[in-house]
Amino acid sequence: MKLKQMNASRIIHRQLLSSYLRTARCVQTLANSACVNAPWVGVIGLEVHAQINSRSKLFCRSLNQHNAPVNTCVGIFDTAHPGTLPVLNKACVEAAVLTALALDAQINPVSYFDRKHYFYPDMPAGYQITQQRKPLAGHGQLSFVVIPPEGVPYVCKAQLVQLQLEEDSGKSIHSHMHNKVLVDLNRAGVGLMELVFSPCLHSAAEAAALVRHLALVLRTLGVCTTNMNEGALRVDANLSVHKAGNPLGTRTEIKNLNSFRFLEQAINHELARQISILDAGGNIVNETRSFDPDTGTTASMRDKEGLQDYRFLPEPNLPPLRICDSSTGSAPSSHDCIDVTELRRRLPLLPIISQETLNYLLHGCQLSAKDASNLMLRRATCDHLLATVEDACGAHVAAHDLSTVAAAACLLLHCHSRDMPSSVQDDIKLRLPSPTLWSCAQLLKDNRVRLENAKEIVAMIVRDGDARSPQQIAEEENWLVSSDVEMIEAVTLEIVRKNPELVATYLRRSNNPKKLRRPLVKLSKLTREALGQDADETIVENSIRRAIQMTRPTDPE
């Protein structure tokens, strides 16, 4: 009896196990099928190299000048002359600490310098002084607005892994005519900040938006010119593709991307290249690639499968870099010590990027994606617009006020044009109070002044300190647009009667809309000159058409 029960139990156990295995195989098959049919996902991480905008180089007194004649900003330390020792530039350290504070990074109280060994003609010492063991800062973040080619703008956040100080290399110039490599050491030893971001981006649009926003932050801080055509800002992109739910794929690195457009083109091409290889059943090679802007393609530079040994060693000629923070009780040990608290006071007003503000500008104020993004990058200007809208409209913007809000945003962004001095941009709230801004925006919304004249009114107020109201300026400068239909129709009728040649040309071209514009524009110009002031373009053109029909001779029966 017991034996029968044991056999029955074993049979039931086998059946349950078999059923479980069949179910597990089905689940695995479905999962594999889902992974196969899942779309490819790109994973992108960026390394940004920003040249520090300092008077001298990082470890010596040689001048840091981009446009200097070849090899004229070179000291004996830059040429690795035996016996020369590095002396750390305090201004470069302060620039790096300011950047770390702006990116909400954790600053290490003690960081170290290391030697990274590799042999290139533009690196005379045979090694680069960098920070590999313990960098200056890390664990930061940067939020930015992404405007995809298709879809709704959104806020993305990138994690800063580390920020380190290092020296730049010289520049190798390849002379194909003479089959030689020429070396310019003016750039050798210039201070660099290397900012390493985690692989949290998924598209070229996100990568370009991150670098654009970072460049704005660096310019606002004054620590880097960010002139990519001069090599002041260079980007290396590490990217791979994988199916959702699968492990990350094999990555490739694209070196020295020196424009936002090239960055987008290179990433889009490389993602498409990897996807096409994987779809064909191939494998991705872990390698470094370069981007050719003429062809829009990437090409292999060197294989990274065999890990290059840089032989990192501690830099024996530089002591540990110590950063103190007097706000936490860490008093400076000497006057040369970098005090984080003092640098925090020097931080300018930086943009605060949030999805809530972006949604309000896009949906609550009905601004375009470009205007909303540009406003969020300029914190003081964005705050001023929001305060102006709240004063004029309250908590909710009525439908009839949306055009005025858009006009106000357009006029505020004009204050950041190149012909406006920086003092205007810094004091925009004081120079252009909310009532004045709203009044000028209403003139533009009601078509009482043209856009170029509205911009000039704002410029006269904020740049020149004109104390007149926008209405008064428009009247005295004869910029008001007339909308008196009766007066305009009377003048256009007279103009049409005095210019039969233009009317005849208009009638001959009535079946060709493109050629019809020229006589119509000429008649409009004559009408405005006769009026002695500007006039609403739509009213003028409609009046001209009616006047032509009124004066047109009737065909004999």
What is the SS3 string spanning 25-77? HHHHHHHHHHHHHCCEEEEEEEEEEEECCCCECCCCCCECCCCCCCCCCCCCC
Q: Are residues 132 and 162 in the same domain?
A: yes
Name the nearest CA neighbour of 439 among 408, 463, 462. 408
CA 330, 332, 337 angle in degrees (round to 5)? 125
Question: Is 110 among the domain residues?
Answer: yes
Residue 360 lies in a domain: yes
d(CA 429, CA 438): 13
Q: Is residue 311 part of a domain?
A: no
Residue 145: is its pLDDT beyond 60? yes
Kindly state whether residue 28 falls inside one of the protein's structural domains.
no
SS3 string, 114-126, reads EEEECCCCCCCCC
- Whether residues 99 and 180 share a domain: the answer is yes
Q: Is the separation of the CB atoms in 79 and 124 below 8 Å?
A: yes
pLDDT digits (tens, 9 = 90+) for 467-522: 999 999 998 998 988 877 888 888 888 888 888 888 888 787 777 777 777 887 88
Residue 231, judged by CB atoms within 10 A of its CB (0-12, 13-18, 19+), counts as middle
Q: Please list the helix, strand and coil fractions of the chain in percent, rounded to the nearest 5, in that order.
A: 45, 20, 35
Instruction: Determine the average pLDDT of the residues in 96-105.
Output: 97
- For the chain, the domain total comes to 3
Q: Rg of the chain's alpha carbons, rounded to an integer?
A: 33
Task: Select, from the ranges 93-107, 367-381, 478-492, the one with the highest average predicted confidence (pLDDT).
Answer: 93-107
66 and 174 share one domain: yes
Residues 446 and 514 in one domain: no
Is residue 205 domain-shared with residue 234, that is, in the same domain? yes
Mean pLDDT of 141-162: 94
What's the CA gap between 332 and 323, in Å, rounded?
8
Phi, psi of 393 (to 5 degrees): -120, -15
Among the candidates 416, 449, 476, a domain finishes at: 476
Q: Is residue 298 part of a domain?
A: no
- Listed residues 210, 227, 243: the one ending a domain: 243
Position 36 scores a pLDDT of: 56
Domain encompassing residue 502:
485-551
| Phi-psi sector, 36: left (phi>0), alpha (psi -120 to 50), beta | alpha
Both 151 and 179 in one domain: the answer is yes
Instruction: Quote the CA–CA distance of 86 and 189 in Å, as a whole number.
Output: 10
What would the pLDDT profile of 258-293 be if each residue is shown by its tens digit? 999 999 999 999 999 999 999 999 999 999 999 999
Determine the Cα–Cα distance for residues 117 and 146; give it in Å rounded to an integer. Answer: 38
Q: What is the spatial distance between Cα 285 and Cα 377, in angstroms, rounded to a whole number?
A: 39
Q: Does residue 430 or residue 54 have the better pLDDT?
A: 54
Residues 103 and 239 grouped into a single domain:
yes
Burial class (CB in 10 A: 0-12, 13-18, 19+), 238: middle
Beta bridge partners, 201, equal: 44
Q: Tell me, yes or no, whether 489 and 467 share the same domain.
A: no
Amino acid at 317: N
Amino acid at 434: S
503 and 462 together in one domain: no
What are residue 358's phi and psi, to 5 degrees? -60, -45
246 and 238 Cβ atoms separated by less than 8 Å: no
Please indicate, yes or no, if residue 546 is contained in any of the structural domains. Answer: yes
Q: State residue 18's pLDDT score.
A: 62
Residue 248 lies in a domain: no
- Of the residues 243, 264, 282, which one is the last residue of a structural domain? 243
Average pLDDT over residues 217-236: 95
Residue range 421-434: average pLDDT?
A: 79
Q: Check whether residue 435 and residue 489 sit in a common domain.
A: no
Residue 127 pairs in a beta bridge with 117
Residue 532 C-alpha from the chain's centroid = 45
Is the whole-model pTM more than 0.85? no
Residues 101 and 238 in one domain: yes
Confirm whether 320 is domain-assigned. no
The contacts of residue 440 (CB under 8 Å, 6+ apart) are 408, 411, 454, 457, 458, 461, 470
Do both 505 and 463 map to the same domain? Answer: no
Mean pLDDT of 88-111: 96
The pLDDT of residue 55 is 96
- d(C-alpha 234, C-alpha 369), whole Å: 27
Number of other residues whose CB lies within 10 A of the CB of residue 96:
30
